[in-house]
Amino acid sequence: MSFGAKASLAISTALILALSGPALAQRTDVVVGLVLEPPHLDPTSNAAAAIDEVVYANVFEGLTRFGPNGDILPALAESWDVAEDGLTYRFMLHDGVTFHDGSAMTADDVVFSLDRARADDSVNAQKFLFADIAEVTAEDDTTVVVTLDQPNGNFLFNMAWGDAVIVAPESAETNTTDPVGTGPFRFADWRQGDSVTIERNPDYWGEPVQLERATFRFIADPTAAFAAMMAEDVDTFPVYPAPETLSILDADPRFEAIVGTTEGETILAMNNRREPLDDVRVREAIVHAIDRQEIIDGAMFGYGTPIGTHFAPHHPAYVDLLDLSAHDPQRSRELLAEAGVEGLTLSLALPPPVYARRGGEIIAAQLRAVGIETEIVNVEWAQWLEQVFGNGDFDLTVISHTEPLDIEIYGRDDYYFGYAAPSFLAIWDELNETLDPDARNALLGDLQRDIAENYVNVYLFQLAKAGVQNVDLEGMWVNAPTQATDLTGAYWAR
C-alpha cells in the first residue's frame, strides 16, 4: 500500500511542478491572516470584530478615525468646530469624495448614516455611541451640523468607531455582501470560508495607497497558521493565534514578531449582586489571592501588561493602582475570616479564548490556595453571552473587554457584574460635562480609583497584540487602538 501512496504522490508532484510559476520580483499585494472570518462586511450592523478587521479604514471611513496609537484623526471630516456649550458640532467635509459605486458622498449621506444608526429599529451593535445626538442636519453639501442633548466629551472619539462609518442610502442594505464605502480600497471578492480580497480604489479622494491588492485569509487553527507563515502563504498575522510558536518565527530571519498593546482589559469579573460577592471584603480577598504575573506567564506566554484598574496602561489618563491589589494570600485569608466566610465554593465560567481557558485554571489554583474552591464551567461564546452577560447568572468569569475606553460600563445599571455605584456615577456625570482634556484625564483617574478601591473585579492584564509579519512588510499597526487591520500605510520595503 505504501508503494501505491508513493506512486500517487509522485504523480501529483509532477503535476504540481508543472503548474507552479516563477515568483514575482516586486510585490504590490499582501496576504493577511485573520483568525476569524467576518459573518458579513457591514460594520454598522454587527459587533463582530472580524468585520472591522477587514473593512475599517480600508473600505469604510467615518467622520473621524483612530490613528495607529489611538489618537483621533480627521477622516471624511476635514475639520470641525465645537460650540462653547459643547452641544453643537459643525463638521466640514472633504470636497469631491465619491463612494465606490461612483456616486458623490455629501452631507446628506452623513445625515442618513447617523440617523440610520440611532433610529428606533436600528440594529447597530454600539447604539450608545449615538445616544446623545438630538439632531443631524446638512447645512450645505459639505457641512454637517450635529446637535447633542447633553455635552459629550467623547463625541469625536465615538464617531471614529467602525460602527459609525458613513454609508450611502442606495447601498446601506447590501453592504453586508457588497460593501460600498469611500475608503482607499474597494471590495473585490469574497470566497466564503476562504478569503476576502480588496483592491486599490483609483478614484480615492485622499492620498492613494501603495498596495494594489490585499487578501485576508481566514485561518483559525494555530498549527495551520504556523504552517501558513512558514510556507510564506501568508505575509502577516496581525493577531497570531499560536503565541507558543511566536518565538520560533521571530528567530527566523524572514519574519519578525510585532508585540503591541490592545484595548483589551482582561478581568476576572465578579458578580457584585450575588452573596457573598456583594461584600467588598470578600471581593478584596479574591483580588489579593491572584498573582497576575503567574497568569501572564502561564497562560499568555509572557505577553500582557498587569493592570490595577479597568484602563489601558498606554492611555495618558492611566493611573497605576497595582499596589491596591498586590498578591497577598495572607491578607486574603484574614479578609475572608473577617467577613465570616468559610468553605466558599464559586462557579467560574470560562469562554473559549486561551486567556480564559488557560488563565482560568491558574486562577482556580490560586483561589484554592486561600481556601476558595471553584467549579470551572467551560462555555461557548453564544452560551456565555446569554447566561453570563445577558442573564447575569454566574459567580466568576474571565473575559477581555476589548472596546476602547470602556470604563463607562461600570456605570451601567443592568451590566452583568452589577456595579453602578453612586460614587462612580457622580464622577461620570461630571466627566460628561467637562471638555478640557486635562480635567477630563483627572476625572478618568478618579473613575479608575473608584473601581479599584471598591474591588469591583480583579483587573488582570492588558491583552497584548502579538503578531508576526514578513520583515519586508512596512507600515502595519504595532498597537491595536481598535480591532482593525489598517492597510492604508502598508508597503513592501523590497
Partner 1 sequence: MTRFLLCRTISLLASLLVASLVIFLVLEVLPGDPARFMLGLNTSPEALAALREQLGLTAPLPARYLGWLAGMAVGDFGISYTYRVPVADLIVERLWVSLPLALYALTLSTLIAIPVGVLAAANRNGLIDFSAMGLTQIGIALPNFWFAMLLVLAFAVNLRWFSSGGFPGWQDPGAAVRALTLPAIALALPQASILARVMRSSLIDTLDEDYVRTARAKGLTRGQALWRHALRNALIPVVTIMGLQFSFLLAGAIIIENVFYLPGLGRLAFQAISARDLIVVRSVVMILVFAVITITFLVDIAYALIDPRLRRRAP
Site residues for partner 1 per CB under 8 A: 1-2, 4-5, 8-9, 12-13, 15-17, 19-20, 37, 39-40, 45-48, 120-128, 176-177, 191-195, 217-221, 223-224, 227-228, 230-231, 233, 352, 380-383, 385-387, 389-390, 401, 403, 406, 409
Min dist. Cβ of residue 12 to partner 1 (A): 5
**Cα angle vertex 461, ends 459, 464, to 5°?**
150
In this complex, which beta carbon is closest to partner 1, that of residue 69 or of residue 177? 177
Query: Which among 218, 182, 190 has a CA at the least distance from the CA of 75?
Result: 182
Give the residue with the Cβ less far from partner 1, 128 or 157.
128
- Give the H/E segment covering residue 265: strand 255-270
> Helices 354-368 and 280-289 meet at what angle, rounded to 10?
100
Backbone angles phi, psi at 491, to 5 degrees: -160, 165
Signed CA dihedral, 87, 92, 94, 100: sign only: positive
Which is closer to partner 1, CB of 129 or CB of 372?
A: 129
CB of 229 to partner 1, least distance (A): 9
Q: Which is nearer to partner 1, 118 or 292 (CB)?
A: 118
**Closer residue to partner 1 (CB): 60 or 218:** 218
Rg, C-alpha atoms of the chain = 25
**Least distance (Å) between residue 305 CB and partner 1:** 22
Select 106 or 457, whichever has its Cβ closest to partner 1.
457
In the complex with partner 1, the residue whose CB is nearer, 227 or 426, is 227
**In the block, residue with C-alpha cell 483580588:** 287
The C-alpha atoms of residue 189 and residue 126 are separated, in whole angstroms, by 27
Q: Which is nearer to partner 1, 131 or 439 (CB)?
A: 131
Q: Phi first, then psi: what are they for 112, rounded to 5°?
A: -60, -50
Shortest Cβ 7–partner 1 spacing (Å): 9
Nearer to partner 1, 248 or 324 (CB): 248
Q: ∠ at Cα 458 (162, 287), nearest 5°? A: 170
Q: Cβ closer to partner 1: 305 or 383?
A: 383
Rounded to a whole number of angstroms, the minimum distance from the CB of residue 380 to partner 1 is: 6
Residue 468 and residue 449: Cα distance in Å, rounded? Answer: 36
Element counts in the chain: helices (H) and strands (E)? 13, 19
Cβ 26 to partner 1 shortest distance, Å: 20
**Cis amide prior to 329 (ω within 30 degrees):** no
Nearest approach in angstroms of CB 191 to partner 1 is: 6
Angle at 250 between CA 246 and CA 252, to 5 degrees: 120
Distance of alpha carbon 359 from alpha carbon 75, whole angstroms: 39
Q: At its nearest, how many Å lie between partner 1 and the CB of residue 483?
A: 11
Query: And the C-alpha cell for 244?
Result: 507558543
CB of 447 to partner 1, least distance (A): 17
List, in sequence order, every residue forming a beta bridge with 309; answer none if it has no partner: none
**CB-CB contact of 248 with 254 (8 Å):** no
Of 184 and 351, the one with the shorter C-beta distance to partner 1 is 351
Strand partners, 65: 73
The set of cell numbers assigned to 89 is 458640532
Indicate the residue type of 70.
G
Q: Which is nearer to partner 1, 201 or 245 (CB)?
A: 245
Could you give the 3-state DSSP secondary structure of residue 302? coil
Shortest gap between Cβ of 342 and partner 1 (angstroms)? 33
Q: Smallest gap, in angstroms, from Cβ of residue 368 to partner 1? A: 28
Q: Which of 101, 88, 457 is nearest to 286 (CA)?
A: 457
> CB 238 → partner 1: shortest distance, Å?
17
| Phi, psi (rounded to 5 degrees) for 33 | -90, 130
Q: Cβ-count burial of 201 within 10 angstroms (0-12 exposed, 13-18 middle, 19+ buried)?
A: buried
Give dist(CA 452, CA 322) in Å, integer.
9
